[in-house]
Amino acid sequence: MSDPALSPPPRYVLWLLVSHLRALGAEPGGGAVLLYLGTCALYPLASGAAHALGALGGAGRHRAFCCDYGALSLYGLGSALAYSAYSFPREWLGSTFHRSYLPLAVLNSALGTGLSCYSRFLEAERPRLSKASRTLAFVYPYIFDSIPVFYRLSRCVPGGCSEGSLRLHSRHSLCALLSFLSFTSRLPERLAPGSFDLIGHSHQLFHVCGILGTLFQLEAVSVDMAERRGRLPLPSSLETFGSLGMGAAASLAILGICFRCLRPEPRSREKSR
């Protein structure tokens, strides 16, 4: 059997998920990492399916990408679950921000799904506003969810990095920045139109940086779990499964509204007959 760490990212994430499922009985409070790993496996699969179904055109294409955005928003919420359970600064534990962190992450996840799906309706007539809305829908939740990690990294700079996970968290942040730049800059195809139509264009770089960032994040959370085991309060099942359940329900409701609005008009159906 090949080493799972050398396998493609979705297979690697699924291998981690199965491994943690087997050890769940011996790992109290492990629900957060299970849900986080589930969202890590979900969003690449949803993205791949959306790009494969993009050739449908029309409402089918928009619906496929709305599902992609919903999965990506749930991944953001899954990251918040993992950070709240394993990566929060110790001096913030029990604070007002810590108590409100997950409820706000759920709200941000729903807002991200709604704003990104709404951007599909703006794509034809107002493409710049559509892309700006879509970018904001994922940049803002990422920044909010990463506040605990950013704080730990800021404390690491003057005093030195004594925790092994911080270097991995910094690599994840760098990959997130590169994903943002590749998504918004449209480089390198802007410099040489037509030369990167198949390989090397900005959207491919965006996905590569995103997957690499997720792998660094996975390793960082795993190190945090090992280094801080027994030092942080364990999250309850209500906090973990309840938060992701509410986020998933909100995203599904938003997707249902979008699907309803994206139905073909009666006239178009009559013309196609």
Res. 81: pLDDT tops 70: yes
**180 pLDDT exceeds 80?**
yes
Statement: residue 2 has pLDDT above 60: no
- pLDDT above 90 for 29: no
Q: Compute how many other C-beta atoms are within 10 angstroms of the C-beta atom of residue 9.
A: 16
> What is the average per-residue pLDDT within 183-199?
82
Task: Name the band, by pLDDT with cuts 50, 70 and 90, for residue 39.
Answer: very high
The stretches of 54-95 forming alpha helices (DSSP H) are: 58-82
Contact 233, 85 (CB under 8 A): no
Q: What are the Cα distances from residue 14, in Å, to 39, 44, 123?
A: 10, 12, 34
Identify which has the larger pLDDT, 34 or 233: 34
Q: What tens digit of pLDDT does each residue of 121-179 get?
A: 888 889 899 999 999 999 999 999 999 999 999 887 655 566 789 999 999 999 999 99
Token representation of residue 245: 């359940």
Q: How confident is the model at residue 197 (pLDDT cuts 50, 70, 90)?
A: confident
Contacts of 27 by beta carbon, 8 Å cutoff, 6+ apart = 20
H-helix segments, the chain? 9-22, 31-53, 58-82, 96-122, 127-145, 147-159, 165-185, 202-227, 237-261, 266-272
Instruction: Look over the chain and give the mean of its residue pLDDT values, rounded to a whole number.
Output: 84
pLDDT in tens, 214-258: 999 989 998 998 887 767 777 777 889 999 999 999 999 999 999
Query: What six digits make up the tokens of 261?
Result: 């609005």
Evaluate the CA torsion angle 121, 126, 130, 131 in order and state its sign: positive
Segment 37-47 shows an average pLDDT of: 90
